[in-house]
Structure 1
Amino acid sequence: MTAPRPRAPRRGPQSPAPRPLAPRRLISLGARGPEDVVADARGRVLTGVEDGRILRLDGLTGPAARPRVEVLAHTGGRPLGLELLPADDALLVCDAERGLLRVDLATGAVRVLADSVAGERLRFCSNAVALSDGSVHFTVSSTRHPLDRWIGDIVEHTGTGRLLRLAPGDTAPEVVLDGLQFANGLAPAADESFLVVAETGARRLTRVRLTGPAAGQAEPFAEDLPGMPDNLWRGGPDGPIWVALAGPRVPPLDLLHRAAPAVRRTAARAAVRTPFRPTGTIGVLAYDDQGRVLHHLTARHSRFRMVTSVCEAAGHLVLGSLWERGVAVCGRPAAE
């Protein structure tokens, strides 16, 4: 099934005004690119960095003393999206080079769960969620551009992103949805009746129904976001869906996406050869299951750039970044 066509955005009066997103602490990890951050039940934060290590950070929200950083495993590739499995004894890892992995947190053992789909090698796994029935859904951002040329896919607007499903005990995933614009973060509904998929290249969130008469259908969940959504995180059914905005809206890019494919391909070739530097505009959003914005936090001149993930840990927000060499700790907003 292909992704739904966009529709005119709807903005309701219930959407709160943006509030400041101000990192209180920047925690260096000595390695670049903690692209995704997830929190366990004890408030510890797990992340994967550019050199392939999976790290666990303890004490991020405590006193000013440096938190403890523990190496749990090495994937042998480039870890991106993470998902803790029940009881926090194992971790799903979307590795941009090796596919969908399972990491034993006690031993550090790494096992490949899936590295191809329909005979095609998984090039760019991005994010995963594990559901209560034992199935795993995960995204592939692009079938044309690898991670080191991610900006080429954003510019070319290829629409080759996919949502895949791996059934319990299977080694071959199935394609649930294709035609996505740089498929990225995933989060389940509180009752697991649908998934929310971030489409970075389209600045939208897409809802994919899992149960009921509309099972298998996709529709817009939130459109015309103020930035490019990256990883999604939900700490539990009672919590909101947190959305990291990796970059602000770029009006010239919106115009380019309406140009002919040949024009976009030419622009993409130029983009991958041009040194990239993110802006100082960062942001995060929080949604409920009805698609209502609960929180909108933003900053225009942040020292911490390119926020690709956000999670809650011990009453704080922790930000990850594909660009930075550490994570940022921020205050969590009060409910409105």
Structure 2
Amino acid sequence: MNEAEGLRQRRPLRPQVVTEDTTAQESKDGSTYSNKVFRMTFMILALLLIIPLIGAIVLLDSPIDPQPISFKEPPPFTGTLEPNFKLRQAERLFENQLVGPESIANIGDVLFTGTSDGRIVKIEDGHIQTIARLGHGPCGTGGDELTCGRPLGIRVGPKKSLFVADAYYGIFEIFPSSGEVQRLVSSKVPIEGKNLSFVNDLAVTRDGRKIYFTDSSSKWHRKDFCYLIMEATDDGRLFEYDTVTKEVKVLMEGLRFPNGVQLSPAEDFVLVAETTMARIRRYYVSGLMKGGEDMFVENMPGFPDNIRSSSSGGYWVAMSAIRANPGFSMLDFLSDKPWIKRIIFKLFSQETVMKFVPKYSLVVELSETGSYRRSFHDPDGMVATYISEAHEHNGHLYLGSFRSPFICRLDLKDV
């Protein structure tokens, strides 16, 4: 090593000058590195959570196997369907004294209805009295339906008896004066090879000879009605029962949640609400068109429940849920997306899904030809909620409900 090389090796190191820019750069570099580490850690944790969730969704069984269906754009809420607050003028009766008064009938001024705990009750002079129970107890919760029964449609016959459709037990005749109960059609006996799993509503001819009733599904029970709607199952049927010959005939099949039933004033046809499809179908039971069927009203502004006659010769139809236009209808949106429906019920219970159904209450009056005469609304369900039926009596509409703990009464003079 020569002298020059030695001097170069012994030359002192230059001191590093630290400036604000240097510190800032180091801080920036450190911050960038920390951000990268944080993002990496977050992504890893997210993947660790998401991958098992996706796997669980894929592996979990869905309780439903939905069929794709399609709807037209709902009718606009204009004209006779213009939103209003007329249902808010109704009064609640017997609040928290009965739950789920689905259907209502009257003999004179005495009202009759069925409740969610399986009872048939009469309401007279402000008092509620149990006259019959079709199932057996103990009863009190929704989980008891299979044994307690669930009275739905109720009608008055020519002999002042009550004809009742029980979702789990079948068709009954009840004599209020004595409390006598006679089963006419048992849901335990299959008809043409299919079960009666969800007996729903009924209509009775004036002479009491024929009863027309619906079974909403041969697969799903009433307690699983949310599954039935979302799956769009097409196994519902309309029947005719002859009280003299005791014979049951299938009149219509392949229906998606057949629900309310109503005879025409001339008793030449019967109307059937096909809830899932937001429409009402017509079946001719007499006359030149006997045995034929057609569409009475389609693409309704909601999903129809029970149908009852109006004093004007038309029909009252209660909507279990609406299809707002303008607005958003969850059932319309999901109708052609079975995969989303499967995921929803893999993750959520029926009760949870029901919480997303808007509490918009709607009753419409149809003319004898099916056109809209008028409509009564409660946009937020502040007074009338979950309406299942509008029964007209003595200038009032009595509004039944499939889950509310009261009956509503609306004075038609006020609206």
Alignment RMSD, CA only? 2.7
- CA shift at 1:274, angstroms? 4.5
Structure 2: distance between partners of 1:183 and 1:142 = 8
| Structure number having the greater strand percentage | 1
Structure 2: distance between partners of 1:274 and 1:52 = 20
Give the match's secondary structure for 1:121.
coil
Partner of 2:408: 328
Higher Rg: 2
Q: 2:116 aligns with which of 42, 46, 50?
A: 50
Return 5+ residue gaps in structure 1 as ranges. Answer: 60-66
1:146-186 residue CA offsets vs partner (Å, 9 max, x unmatched): 01110001111012111011123233411100111111101
| Structure number having the greater helix percentage | 2
| Contact kept? 2:161, 2:176, Cα under 8 Å | yes
Structure 2: distance between partners of 1:244 and 1:179 = 23
Q: Given residue 152 of structure 1, which amino acid in structure 2 is its aligned partner?
A: Y
For normalisation by structure 1, the TM-score amounts to 0.86
Partner of 1:38: 105
Structure 1: distance between partners of 2:123 and 2:150 = 19
Partner of 1:74: 133
Matches within 5 A, 1:93-172: 93-115=164-186, 116=189, 117-132=191-206, 134-172=209-247
Q: Given residue 251 of structure 1, which amino acid in structure 2 is its aligned partner?
A: S
1:169-205 residue CA offsets vs partner (Å, 9 max, x unmatched): 2334111001111111011111111111111111111
Q: 2:376 aligns with which of 288, 294, 297?
A: 297
For normalisation by structure 2, the TM-score amounts to 0.70
| Contact kept? 1:160, 1:181, Cα under 8 Å | yes
Partner of 1:92: 163
| Contact kept? 2:75, 2:300, Cα under 8 Å | no
1:286 maps to 2:286: no
Distance change (3 Å), C-alpha of 1:209 and 1:110: same
Return 5+ residue gaps in structure 2 as ranges. Answer: 1-69, 136-148
Structure 1: distance between partners of 2:218 and 2:345 = 15
- CA shift at 1:8, angstroms? 9.3
| Contact kept? 1:281, 1:301, Cα under 8 Å | yes
Q: Given residue 45 of structure 1, which amino acid in structure 2 is its aligned partner?
A: L
Structure 2: distance between partners of 1:172 and 1:310 = 31
Q: Given residue 109 of structure 2, which amino acid in structure 1 is its aligned partner?
A: G
Give the match's secondary structure for 2:117.
coil
Structure 1 runs of 4+ aligned residues shifted over 6 Å read 5-11
Structure 2: distance between partners of 1:174 and 1:264 = 34
- CA shift at 1:6, angstroms? 8.6
| Contact kept? 1:18, 1:295, Cα under 8 Å | no
Give the match's secondary structure for 2:272.
strand
Partner of 1:62: none
| Contact kept? 1:50, 1:79, Cα under 8 Å | yes
Distance change (3 Å), C-alpha of 1:110 and 1:221: same
Count residues in correspondence.
319
